[in-house]
Every structure is written in C-alpha cells, then in structure tokens.
C-alpha cells in the first residue's frame, strides 16, 4: 500500500514537472534564440545574423529611419486635423517613453526587434489607470510561460538580476509580418537558409584570406614516418608554406592540392549574391546599404527612390505601429477623436528647385497658404494675409466672366468720357 502511495505521488510530481517544463520557452517559438545548423553547416542566431554587414545595414537603416520620423498624436476637428500635444500619450510616443530612454532610442530598439524576432514588446507603465510610459523589453531577456490556469505570463529580470513577473495585460506587443493574423514570424527562423549561407560564405572568405589564398595542400610519403619525424615535418614544412615560401621536398615527398581556387569558387560573386539575398529579405534596395554594383529599378531620381523606399519598405512598419498604438494604448472613447501618425514629409523633401516649384503650384492654386509653406520650411509664420489662401487672378470661374466683361466696358466708357485717349494709362 505504501509503495502504491509513493508511486502515485511520484507520478503526480513527474506530471507536474513535465507540465512545468512544457510551459516554458522550450515549446514557445517566440522565444527561440537559435535555429539549428542548416544545410550551410552553421547555426543562425540573432548575434550571428547581425554580424553580417548586409543584415546589420538593413536593420539599422529601417529602425533608425523610423526612429527619426516624428510620431505625434493628432486630433480630428471640423476644420481638419491638428496636432494634439495636450494628450498624455503624445509626450510618451513623441518625446520620452520612460525615464531612461528617449523616443528615438525606444523606437529604434522596438523596430529592430520586430525586424529580427517577429515582434517588438514593451511594458506599459501606469499611474493609477493612466498610461504614463513604455519600457522596451529585450527579447533576449524576456521569458514567456503559462501558469497553472493556462494563462500566458511573462518574466523579466530586474537591474539586480532577480526575475519579476509581468501580467500579459501590461505587455504591449507590435507584431511584424504574420501568417496567422496574431503572431509575427521570426525572420531569423524563416530565413535561416539565406542567413546561414551568407554566414558560411563569410567564414569561408575569412579562412581563405587567413591562409593567404592558398588551397588545401596534402603531402604523399613513400613510407611511414616516426612520430618525431612527423612532428619535425609539420613544424618546418607547414611553417614554410604558411609564410609563402617555396617548400623543399625531400625523400620522395610529393605535394598535391585539395579544393578549388577562390576564383574558381567565385568567392566574391557568392558574397555579392548573399548581400542581395539578405536585402531581399528586408526589402531594402542594395544601393541603400552600399552595394552599388547594379543600378536600382526604383526610379532615376533620389526623390523617386525615396518614394519607393517609403511605400514598399517603411510603409507597412509605420502602419503596424500606428494601428497598434490606437488599438492597445488609446481608450475606446479616445479612438474616435485622437489617432497617432508618423510625419514622413521630411523623407520626400526634394532639392531647392523642386521644393520651390512645388510650393509655388500649391500656393498659386489655393491649396497651401504662405504661412503653411513657411512652417514646412521651419520658418516663423508671418500672420495676416500670409495665412489666407490665394489664387492667380487670371484664373476664374465661367459664371464670373460676364461680370468681369461688364466692369471692363464700364471702365473704358468712363475713360472716354473723361477724355483719355490712351486707355492703357491711368
């Protein structure tokens, strides 16, 4: 009876431990930090991927560009939209999300996590029921598990190293590209073959240059060597080869090569292809990361290329962040009145001649006022008539042509009555 009781207790303990282990990140794809070795024979980790110059450049380009774009809260009004600096969330997303970070640094880290891990996460900071800040959560330190009730819980280390639990309701998640409509997919996991091949190519190139561009050499002996002779041979002859000196082969020694030359392996071409493959994964034109061997098909002018980069690369990420803020950080009653928006006009700024032509057309057609143009150029408003919409007087509507003709005829009659012969002068 006692043995059965012990076995029953042991079975329950084992089941509890198994359930506890299964609840941790070993079964949660969100928290995988590495992808097993693939066909290229290398492990793909976030650190290894970021050590690729192309991946580093792509992630930096997208995250830094988004981090430098002004993100503000706007208010819907009868006269259009206007910035709402009075909203408590405006300061959080525009200036300082927490006491230790600026908005630029915070968004840079969050977007980088979205690019590499499939989602960026931050802890929502409250004072009472009011959201007052956001604290970025490093994916390398964040751990996810499920409690006894099956609810997802998160734990994160304090500055002293102790782990603290964070309820799911206080976790703000911005998913990246998703296949199930809920969870963002990890670029590292899905792109393991591409990144693994690029890492392997870099390692092969480094090893090739380390060996002085020499091929693998083997030596053939007529007989067996003693251990002392073998050690002496490796010490002297191998050192001669590594120093680039011509070896002296004695006693019927023959030398041969294994492998192929770097030129035959097209080492440089394979590395260039790796750059283009990595850029395709991040949807970044290679010329923007310094790979200028081929011309871009995104337009001929810098403005056209920036429009393509904004539309196809940055646009989806900006939209995800804006909608995540509205969904998770604004109260339901506030969403009707307020909304977040990135200002992307700075990316589309043309040269002086292009801006002058654009502003002239907008002002002459009554679309922008002169003060609005001055605001776009970071100049103080002039006030008065500079804030009034104007149009060219030569352009008018058809129903006013008759009135203008009557006025002209009356003016001509008045001039004739007063005795003016030259009607072109006052």
pLDDT at 25: 39
Computed over every residue of the chain, the mean pLDDT equals 77
The Cα 269–Cα 90 span in angstroms is: 48
In tens, the pLDDT along 370-401 reads: 988 887 777 888 888 888 888 776 665 545 54
Beta strands in 234-337 (DSSP E): 254-258
- Region 64-84: mean pLDDT is 89
Cα-based distances in Å from 270 to 48, 200, 202, 264, 298: 18, 11, 10, 11, 24
pLDDT at 362: 87
- Could you give the 3-state DSSP secondary structure of residue 71? strand
User: Sign of the C-alpha dihedral, residues 353, 357, 358, 359?
Assistant: positive
pLDDT at 227: 83
Domain range annotation of the chain: 1-29, 32-212+262-349, 216-258
pLDDT at 52: 87
Closest listed residue to residue 217, CA positions, set 252, 261, 170: 261
In tens, the pLDDT along 224-255 reads: 777 887 777 777 665 665 555 666 666 666 66
Ranges 84-88, 130-134, 194-198: which has the least confidence: 194-198
pLDDT at 251: 63
The Cα 298–Cα 163 span in angstroms is: 48
> Looking at per-residue confidence, does 273 or 213 come out higher?
273
Q: Is the pLDDT of residue 29 over 50?
A: no
Write the burial class of residue 32 (CB in 10 Å: 0-12 exposed, 13-18 middle, 19+ buried).
middle
The Cα 226–Cα 216 span in angstroms is: 24
Q: Is the pLDDT of residue 78 over 70?
A: yes
């Amino acid at each position: 009876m006692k043995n059965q009781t012990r076995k029953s207790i042991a079975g329950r303990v084992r089941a509890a431990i198994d359930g506890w282990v299964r609840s941790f990140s070993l079964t949660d794809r969100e928290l995988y930090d590495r992808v097993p070795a693939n066909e290229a024979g290398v492990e793909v980790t976030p650190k290894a991927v970021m050590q690729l110059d192309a991946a580093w450049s792509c992630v930096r380009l997208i995250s830094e560009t988004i981090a430098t774009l002004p993100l503000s809260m706007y208010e819907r009004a009868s006269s259009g939209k206007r910035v709402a600096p009075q909203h408590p969330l405006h300061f959080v997303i525009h200036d300082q999300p927490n006491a230790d970070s600026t908005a630029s640094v915070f968004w840079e880290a969050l977007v980088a996590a979205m690019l590499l891990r499939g989602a960026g996460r931050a802890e929502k900071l409250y004072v009472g029921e009011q959201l007052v800040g956001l604290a970025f959560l490093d994916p390398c330190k964040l751990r996810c598990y499920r409690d006894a009730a099956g609810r997802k819980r998160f734990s994160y280390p304090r500055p002293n190293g102790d782990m603290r639990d964070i309820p799911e309701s206080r976790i703000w998640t911005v998913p990246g590209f998703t296949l199930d409509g809920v969870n963002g997919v990890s670029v590292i996991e899905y792109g393991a073959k591409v990144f693994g091949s690029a890492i392997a190519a870099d390692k092969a190139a480094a090893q090739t240059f380390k060996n002085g561009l020499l091929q693998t050499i083997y030596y053939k002996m007529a007989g067996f060597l003693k251990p002392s002779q073998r050690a002496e041979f490796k010490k002297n002859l191998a050192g001669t080869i590594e120093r680039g000196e011509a070896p002296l082969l004695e006693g019927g020694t023959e030398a041969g090569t294994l492998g192929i030359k770097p030129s035959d392996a097209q080492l440089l071409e394979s590395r260039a292809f790796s750059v283009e493959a990595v850029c395709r994964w991040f949807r970044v034109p290679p010329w923007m990361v310094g790979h200028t061997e081929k011309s871009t098909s995104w337009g001929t002018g810098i403005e056209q290329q920036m429009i393509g980069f904004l539309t196809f690369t940055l646009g989806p990420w900006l939209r995800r962040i804006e909608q995540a803020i509205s969904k998770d950080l604004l109260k339901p009653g506030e969403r009707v009145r307020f909304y977040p928006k990135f200002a992307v006009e700075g990316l589309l700024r043309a040269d002086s001649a292009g801006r002058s032509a654009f502003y002239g057309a907008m002002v002459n057609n009554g679309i922008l006022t002169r003060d609005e143009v001055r605001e776009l150029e970071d100049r103080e408003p002039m006030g008065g008539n500079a804030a009034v919409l104007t149009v060219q007087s030569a352009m008018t509507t058809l129903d006013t042509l008759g009135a203008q003709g009557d006025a002209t005829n009356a003016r001509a009659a008045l001039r004739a009555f007063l005795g003016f012969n030259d009607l072109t002068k006052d």
